Structure 1
Amino acid sequence: MAILVTGGAGYIGAHVVRALERAGLESVVVDDLSSGHREFVRPEVPFIDLNVLHAKQLVDQLAEHHIEAVIHLAAFKYAGVSVERPAHTWRQNAGGTLSLLRAMERLDIGAIVFSSTAAVYGTPDVETVTEDTATRPESPYGESKLVGEWMIRDQAQATGLRHTSLRYFNVVGSGEPDLYDSSPHNLFPLVIRALAQGHRPRIFGEDYPTPDGTCVRDYVHVADLAEAHVTAVRRLLAGNELERVYNLGNGEGVSVRQIMQSVSDATGIAFEPEVMGRRPGDPARIVASGALAARDLDWKLTHTLDDMVASAWASRPVEPAD
């Protein structure tokens, strides 16, 4: 028996697969490589090149590999771009989750950990977000993830599916020297790529209602996040009752300008960021309490902001300068 990791060739998914391996759990990866990297998955891990929307092939593959639980990360994850490509976002995220749930029901796979997002909260009207904070997503990405949570909740009510959804905040750093964030939109890879190529990193918006005018976010290290997935899936398989959603947050906010300074300190490269306009779908501030996850999932932060920055820089791919 094995655990299916959809999106397991991606930045977060690959870290989850490595964490499962360290815990002595077998995994199978499904990924269509639209944003993932085949080399992130070690040769000994079964790899299926497939989009989860392809329902018949998905059922066949899950049956062949005797899957007992699913960690579902596969999605179109870019909030800003989702505003420009809503139909694509809905099809990949809501459609993919629906296809997966139908396959799980057909094969009687009884547990799922869902990769959700802080984007379900939109711009909160509280200093610190908890799981009870109102959900008001401001992008098709956030909306599609919230609907994914609802789909899983409804399926659980109908079939007894054991489940939980983990709402991520800003996931950064690297826990393995060969794994890195290659997103063309996330802050850390954008800054690192710019510096590696001799360019000035960019700040998107400096007129937000925050102390320095730049967005404030809650940053967590990807290795800590991966461990939370392992704990969640193990407890579901053991029959433990978990909450429907958990925030995986730090509880402390850091601004984009502060991140820029941390990057400068870690790399020894002095720079003045180039200020651009705001990106659509980016709320001003999101900081969350991880108290509930600490209670039920042993959630704790073992990496500092300096660790996050240094590990991201150390794992960066080598790219030629323009």
Structure 2
Amino acid sequence: MILVTGGLGMIGAHTARALLDLGQEVIVTSHRRSDLPSFLAGAATVETLDVTDREEFLSLGKRYEISDIVHLAGSIPGDDPVSFFRTDLTGLLNALDAARTWGVGRFAVASSIGNYIGRPEICWTEDLPLPVADYPHLIIAFKKAAEPIVTHALQGTDVQPVLLRIGSTWGPLMDPESAFSPKPPYIGAVLRGETPPALPDDAAEDSCYAPDAGRAIALLTTAPTLPHTVYNVSSGQPVSNREFVEAVKAVRPEIAGDLLPGRTLGPAPYLDITRLTADTGFTPEFDINRAVADYVDWRTTNPR
């Protein structure tokens, strides 16, 4: 049985669904969220868990035979950065303690595309040395720091660490007004019959649809062997605002979304997934057109 912490969040839930599709038994944990997405109902075991409670975390191993851990649980920073770091670090250390205690085979943990901020390359590969940089968000800073914590904590054990440098992911279950991606708020406005805010014409970003991200993580968790520790998780190509807006218009042509004049921002950096594809066979199923159509269909009957 594979444990997915934060399994009712966007990436966690899609990872759980992909694991189920691969024939795995899955247990997902959630602390504050209780609404079970329809695609997990009746399929995954759900446990309420505060990952900062070590004894509660370790007790899962007494009730389930857990073979692997995918640690995706995390919090949203408030006004106190120390409180945020304490919460997420405690959860991570408890997950690592569980991995060592239970002797799981693989420990996959969410890292971030933000680790590469400061690299001048357009295509970011896993073998690039990570720069020293001022990170724009506490979450990115924590995820970069988490990588050596995980690898050092698992040294001398048979637990294989897998560092998931996850790209700009969006899709079903994302906060519809998220500040991390313009796509759900834009589509939300369209679904309400409102003119969405104009987006810069030539801006682009690394982009991955959540079901693809979940499937990539599931494949990395279940692959018979993995020759590397670090893997980029994304679609392998950037998506421009123009491509996104055109995809929305193809589904809802009655709502005209404007584009701001180009600002010659230059090429957008994105994650290279050559390693992911070579080691797991992963290729994305959703281009931007299929992703937008799927998300619009999802949001017509789901609030997030």
Shorter chain as denominator, the TM-score bin is: 0.7 to 0.9
- Distance in 2 between the 1:115 and 1:268 partners? 37
Match of 2:278 in 1: 295
Tell me how far 1:293 sits from its aligned partner: 0.9
Partner of 1:278: none
Whether the 8 Å contact between 1:172 and 1:308 is mirrored in structure 2 is no
Amino acid at match of 1:218: D
Q: Which residue of 2 aligns with 1:255?
A: 240
Question: 1:16–1:230: 8 Å Cα contact kept in structure 2?
Answer: yes
1:3-82 alignment to 2 at 5 Å?
3-34=2-33, 37-40=35-38, 41-76=40-75, 82=77
Are residues 90 and 168 of structure 1, via their aligned partners in 2, closer, same or farther at CA, if it must alter by over 3 Å? Answer: same
Residues 132 and 294 (structure 1), Cα distance of their counterparts in 2 relative to 1, 3 Å cut? same
Query: Contact 1:242/1:296 (CA < 8 Å) preserved in 2?
Result: yes
Amino acid at match of 2:120: D
- Secondary structure, counterpart of 2:123 in structure 1: coil
Percent same amino acid among aligned pairs? 22
CA distance change for structure 1 residues 63 and 317 in 2, over 3 Å: closer, same or farther?
farther
Contact map agreement 1:231 1:297 (CA 8 A) in 2: yes
Output the CA distance in 2 between the equivalents of 1:97 and 1:42. 27
Deviation at 1:319, TM superposition (A): 7.6
Q: Alignment length, in residue pairs?
A: 291
- TM-score, structure 2 normalization: 0.85
SS of corresponding position for 2:119: coil
Task: Flag as ranges the 4+ runs of structure 1 deviating above 4 A.
Answer: 82-85, 317-320
Matched ranges for 1:80-95 at <5 A: 82=77, 86-95=81-90
Match of 2:213 in 1: 225
Which deviates further from its counterpart, 18-27 or 90-99?
90-99
Give ranges in structure 1 of 5+ residues lacking alignment.
Answer: 174-178, 207-211, 276-283
Contact 2:242/2:259 (8 A) holds in 1: no
Q: Does 1:316 align with 2:302?
A: no
Deviation at 1:303, TM superposition (A): 2.0
The match for 1:269 is 254
For 1:220-251, what per-residue CA distance to the aligned partner results, in whole angstroms no more than 9, with x for missing partners?
2322222222221222xx4x243111112333
Superposed CA RMSD in Å reads 2.7
Q: Is the CA contact 2:190–2:196 (under 8 Å) kept in the aligned structure 1?
A: yes
> Is 1:152–1:163's contact at 8 Å kept on the other side of the alignment?
yes
Deviations 1:65-100 (A, max 9, x none): 1111111111236xxxx4855335423433321121
Report the CA distance between 1:49 and its aligned residue.
Answer: 1.2
TM-score by length of 1: 0.80
Q: Return closer, same or farther for 1:85/1:243 CA change in 2, 3 Å cut-off.
A: farther
Does 1:106 pair with 2:106?
A: no
Change (3 A) 1:96 1:317: farther
